[in-house]
Amino acid sequence: MFKFVVFAAAIALAVAQHHGGTPDGTAEIRSFGSDVSPDGSYHFSYETSNGIAAQEQGVGGVQAAGAASHTSPEGIPIKLTYTADADGFHPEGAHLPVPPPPQPIPDYIVRSLEWNAAHPYKEELPGKPF
């Protein structure tokens, strides 16, 4: 969870530096809310005058779920939703790259794997060839 918080802070810093010389550099916070409970659960949200918004809720160090949005310099609305848990960080958004579909395994690799399976490695014994 700590890595995620550092990642989010780095993104916020990069966005702030990128927009430093533009009207976005003078954006104001429209709303901000934060609540941390004794059981470790938390919630925060904010929105700025230039359309940047984010919210997250979770249980400290265990799991989190949230969303963030802003408009790219090209004018494209960017919306990100995510969860973070023991299995890692899971982002979703139309702007994120999509991995290519799996490719078939080439024949020469299949033949090599079959040969390896038919000829298992035998450990060399001292003084005896294998």
Mean predicted confidence (pLDDT) in 12-35: 74
Q: Is the pLDDT reported for residue 130 higher than 90? A: no
Residues in Cβ contact with 78 at an 8 Å cutoff, skipping those fewer than 6 apart: 69, 70, 71, 72, 93, 95
Q: Is the pLDDT reported for residue 5 higher than 70? A: no
Q: Is the pLDDT reported for residue 14 higher than 70? A: no
Provide the pLDDT for residue 127: 65
The 10 Å Cβ neighbour count of residue 115 is 9
pTM, two decimals, is: 0.60
Provide the pLDDT for residue 36: 94
- Domain positions in the chain are 2-92
Q: Which candidate, 57, 31, 53, places its Cα nearest to that of 44?
A: 57
Q: How far apart are CA 12 and CA 1, in angstroms?
A: 17
Provide the pLDDT for residue 62: 92
Strand order in the sheet with 63-71: 29-36, 41-48, 53-59, 63-71, 77-85, 88-92
Q: Is the pLDDT reported for residue 110 higher than 90? A: yes
Provide the pLDDT for residue 121: 80
Q: How far apart are CA 70 and CA 56, in angstroms?
A: 15
Going by their DSSP bridges, the two strands 41-48 and 29-36 should be labelled as: antiparallel
pLDDT category at 8 given cuts 50, 70, 90 is low
